[in-house]
Structure 1
Amino acid sequence: MNRLVPFAAVLCLAGAAAACSDRDDDVVQAPAPGAPPAPLPDRQADAAATNAALAFGMTRDQLEDADLYSRADADLGDVETLVLDASGALTHLVVELNGPGDMKVLVPVADVALVDRNGDKDLVTDLTPGQLQALPAWTPPAR
């Protein structure tokens, strides 16, 4: 019994480390209608996210850490998750909007563009805060 306790502690710590990864749910595949989104296997997520970021002229880390700004330079929110279609193409970004409630919405990639803000690569949109709040809410994958 005493030998099991240290082993169980190691398993708990390993599970906690995996749960705390900054890449958890950063890349998901868009679900079928009515189904929850599904996290992608690490290798597929890495390749797809890298390709998606390159399309914006960014690294994966830059895209996943990007801020979303208005054309008037107002900080609207932060990119949280990349959403891919079945072919691995980036279709939406999950953006946590600034403001009360930490609302997360699905922003179509077609509505954002790269912006260089004094050497920092971020994203810009013509959508207003009201339009962003009206976008579909993000429902994270079940764990």
Structure 2
Amino acid sequence: MYLSSSPSSVSHPLAAYGWDEDLEAEFASYAAQGLLPGRVVRVDRGQCDVVTADGVVRADTAFVTPHDPMRVICTGDWAAVDPEGSSPRYVRAYLPRRTAFVRSTSSKRSEGQILAANVDHAIIAVSLAVELDLGRIERFLALAWESAE
């Protein structure tokens, strides 16, 4: 994650998750609407867990679910969520991604599937309990390389 050393972003409760002055500036219009910033840490079945300054909240993704699989919300995205008291809570928007890990889908269509967003570092780890599969490591490296572009 990118951590800024500026005083205003370091004191922000989301600084440990990568919140910085640039994100704060991008989020300003959503803050003016009363929405809260948060980092998506889990997505499943139209719901997601978002870390906010108040802790982890569960939110529905119905408003940010496009038909394009490259634009669906994913782990690592910075989201604008409804404030406390909204029931149910929704992700209303998400900020533009700085980076994205993308893989090819298993379908016959040539489209990608987004795996994670806003990742600055990746570690490739494989088990040494079985014979090393160099082809598999090569695919992981290719994924990381292509996603960094």
Q: TM-score, normalised by structure 2?
A: 0.27
Structure showing greater relative contact order (alpha-carbon pairs closer than 8 Å, 6 or more residues apart)? 1
Q: Which has the higher helix share?
A: 1
TM-score when scaled to structure 1?
0.27
